[in-house]
């Protein structure tokens, strides 16, 4: 069995990872640490939550010499820069490492003063890093260890030119370059290859895109019943720190306020908050000051809280990759985790697209009944009461009890009254009824299965399935809309709504097939992500519509 010790790490680093609770290296750590210690350039690909940060951090800490700036790590987001910098500090505290995160939204003066005092490691976002280089405030002349973290995300976010400019500025002849990401596109590999010396590709393959020790399930509820469903789960699940994702900034604040009103400790974090406030909230969440953080996708990348037991999609993300980043916040470093999605029946196809992308099933589950919620409340109350009785009581409390008994009340009556007082707050948290949301897509899938088995139209083939899978025009991708002729829509409505929402030309939209209750439309492949993001829950002629990839694309 591989251990951190026999990977060649110095005793201080081995002791530190042991203190942090890591018994043995993950596959990416086991394969990457040795080559990096040898000075090899490495391209590392592994799932979110599998320990990529430690894989590149531990070797670079071992190779630090002197007090000059020697390490530059680039990350795509502020949150990830802060997370990586904190990880570097945790792993290197016995070595006295000095690390500085630099990112937009924080004072230039604060960052330049820290640089003047001297740091050995800088973790930065591309924009701010390049600014400080151009201002002659960031001297990279002694940097010999360069890392791109979440490299593909930087490509998607349009940082590629900044990244290339920064890489050109790291001119040390003995520079060691490594890139790590959950995916490594051909573009990133070609770009990085220009600046790397015979890089070693380490690809930790998995049958699934998501971490396997995360239990994934979903509940079908009506949109207006999501809060009631969420509170049932929060009351009956064994939750520790819990991340709840919403689609909008306003939605995150409203949900957090609703949970607080119901007696849950919750706060919201989103892109509208100043960076300092976001950092304060996330720090309080890590410290356990409150246990529920309601967030937008601004924190889907870059926030590492080891004890997150549940990630809950209050709003299902539009793109499968966003789902992967969200649930990657739990089940980290070999721990178990839970990923829960609350969906409407109309979102079943979107969920199926996520399953196809992750190559992992998401199980349908039944919500706890009101009786189960009330029983769980009783269990928690009794456990808390027993724990309190096991603690020593003061003379003052005994004297108060004696005084009440002298007033003519029995110990039983006093106990019942005390229990009623302690549980009075539960009146503000009624167990609301939840209406059934008919899962019509599940019925459709069963109907399609019967047809494919020869039980539908007599010839063993699904007419609709045959029609859906016809050849697309070259360069086009077929999308599915859950409204059709009965909703009064026409081809012009589809073209106008999609083109205007996604800001694309109407000529980018191809064949349109409008049926009674659904519509299929072909869109140029290069515009598919923009359309899905803009129209995932859009409107056509004032009617809400869900747009997902059609079956033939999967």
Three-state DSSP class for residue 149: strand
pLDDT in tens, 397-408: 888 988 999 898
Residues 270, 281 contacting (CB under 8 angstroms): no
Three-state DSSP class for residue 217: strand
pTM, to two decimals: 0.56
Q: What is the mean pLDDT of residues 113-142?
A: 93
The per-residue pLDDT for 554 is 42
pLDDT in tens, 476-524: 889 988 888 888 888 888 888 888 888 888 788 888 999 988 899 999 9
pLDDT over 90 at 366, yes or no: yes
Three-state DSSP class for residue 66: coil
Residues 250, 319 contacting (CB under 8 angstroms): no
User: Which secondary structure element, helix H or strand E, spans residue 308, and what is its range?
Assistant: strand 308-313
Question: Could you tell me the CA-to-CA distances from 6 to 1, 26, 34, 178, 196 in Å, in that order?
Answer: 10, 14, 10, 22, 27
Question: Could you tell me the CA-to-CA distances from 398 to 23, 402, 404, 451, 546 in Å, in that order?
Answer: 48, 6, 10, 74, 63
Residues of 390-426 as b/e, b for ≥16 C-beta within 10 angstroms? eeeeeeeeeeeeeeeeeeeeeeeeeeeeeeeeeeeee
pLDDT over 90 at 55, yes or no: yes
Give the integer Cα–Cα distance in Å for 61 and 505.
51
- Label residue 462 by pLDDT band (50, 70, 90): very low
pLDDT in tens, 264-308: 999 998 878 887 888 888 888 888 899 999 998 866 555 656 678
- Label residue 244 by pLDDT band (50, 70, 90): very high
With a CB cutoff of 8 Å and minimum separation 6, the contacts of 77 are: 125, 153, 298, 301, 302
pLDDT in tens, 430-460: 888 887 666 554 554 554 455 445 444 444 4
User: Which secondary structure element, helix H or strand E, spans residue 180, and what is its range?
Assistant: strand 176-181
Residues 184, 43 contacting (CB under 8 angstroms): yes
- Label residue 473 by pLDDT band (50, 70, 90): low
Give the integer Cα–Cα distance in Å for 233 and 264.
12
Tokens linked to 474: 């070259």
Three-state DSSP class for residue 238: coil
pLDDT over 60 at 334, yes or no: no
Is 126 exposed, middle or buried, given 0-12, 13-18 or 19+ CB atoms closer than 10 A?
buried
Question: Could you tell me the CA-to-CA distances from 122 to 68, 70, 97, 107 in Å, in that order?
Answer: 11, 8, 11, 16
Q: What is the mean pLDDT of residues 133-152?
A: 91
pLDDT over 80 at 384, yes or no: yes
pLDDT over 60 at 206, yes or no: yes
């Amino acid at each position: 069995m591989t251990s951190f010790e026999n990977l060649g790490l110095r005793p201080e680093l081995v002791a530190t990872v042991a203190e942090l609770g890591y018994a043995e290296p993950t596959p990416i750590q086991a394969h990457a640490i040795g080559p990096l210690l040898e000075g090899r350039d490495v391209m590392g690909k592994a799932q979110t939550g599998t320990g990529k940060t430690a894989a590149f951090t531990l070797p670079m800490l071992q190779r630090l010499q002197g007090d000059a700036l020697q390490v530059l790590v680039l990350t795509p987001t502020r949150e990830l820069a802060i997370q990586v910098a904190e990880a570097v500090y945790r792993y290197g505290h016995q070595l006295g490492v000095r690390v500085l995160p630099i990112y937009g939204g924080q004072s230039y003066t604060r960052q330049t003063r820290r640089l003047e005092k001297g740091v050995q490691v800088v973790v930065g976002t591309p924009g701010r890093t390049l600014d400080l280089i151009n201002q002659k405030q960031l001297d990279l002349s002694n940097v010999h260890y360069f890392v791109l973290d979440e490299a593909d995300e930087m490509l998607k976010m349009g940082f590629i030119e900044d990244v290339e400019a920064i890489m050109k500025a790291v001119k040390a002849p003995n520079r060691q370059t490594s890139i790590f990401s959950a995916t490594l596109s051909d573009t990133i590999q070609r770009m990085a290859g220009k600046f790397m010396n015979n890089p070693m590709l380490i690809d930790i393959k998995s049958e699934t895109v998501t971490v396997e020790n995360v239990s994934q399930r979903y509940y079908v509820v009506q949109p207006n019943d999501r809060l009631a469903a969420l509170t049932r789960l929060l009351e009956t699940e064994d939750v520790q720190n819990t991340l709840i994702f919403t689609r909008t900034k306003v939605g995150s604040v409203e949900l957090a306020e609703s949970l607080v009103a119901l007696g849950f400790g919750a706060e919201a974090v989103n892109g509208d908050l100043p960076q300092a406030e976001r950092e304060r909230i996330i720090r309080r969440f890590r410290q356990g000051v409150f246990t529920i953080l309601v967030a937008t996708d601004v924190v889907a990348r870059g926030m590492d809280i080891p004890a997150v037991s549940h990630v809950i999609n209050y709003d299902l993300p539009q793109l499968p990759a966003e789902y992967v980043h969200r649930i990657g916040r739990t089940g980290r470093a070999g721990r178990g985790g839970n990923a829960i999605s609350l969906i409407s029946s109309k979102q079943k196809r979107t969920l199926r697209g996520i399953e196809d992308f992750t190559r992992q099933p998401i199980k349908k589950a039944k919500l706890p009944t009101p009786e189960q919620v009330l029983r769980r409340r009783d269990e928690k109350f009794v456990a808390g009461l027993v724990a309190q009785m096991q603690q020593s009581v003061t003379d003052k409390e005994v004297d108060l009890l004696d005084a009440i008994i002298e007033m003519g009340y029995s110990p039983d009556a006093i106990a019942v009254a005390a229990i009623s007082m302690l549980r009075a707050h539960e009146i503000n948290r009624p167990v609301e009824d939840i209406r059934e949301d008919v899962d019509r897509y599940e019925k459709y899938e069963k109907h399609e299965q019967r047809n494919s088995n020869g039980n539908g139209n007599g010839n063993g083939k699904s007419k609709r399935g045959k029609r859906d899978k016809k050849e697309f025009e070259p360069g086009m991708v077929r999308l599915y809309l859950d409204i059709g002729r009965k909703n009064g829509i026409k081809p012009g409505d589809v073209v106008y709504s999609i083109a205007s929402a996604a800001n694309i030309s109407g000529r980018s939209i191809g064949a349109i097939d409008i049926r009674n209750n659904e519509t299929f439309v072909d869109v140029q492949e290069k515009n598919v992500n923009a359309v899905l993001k803009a129209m995932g829950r859009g409107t056509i002629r004032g009617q809400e519509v869900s747009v997902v990839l059609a079956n033939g694309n999967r």
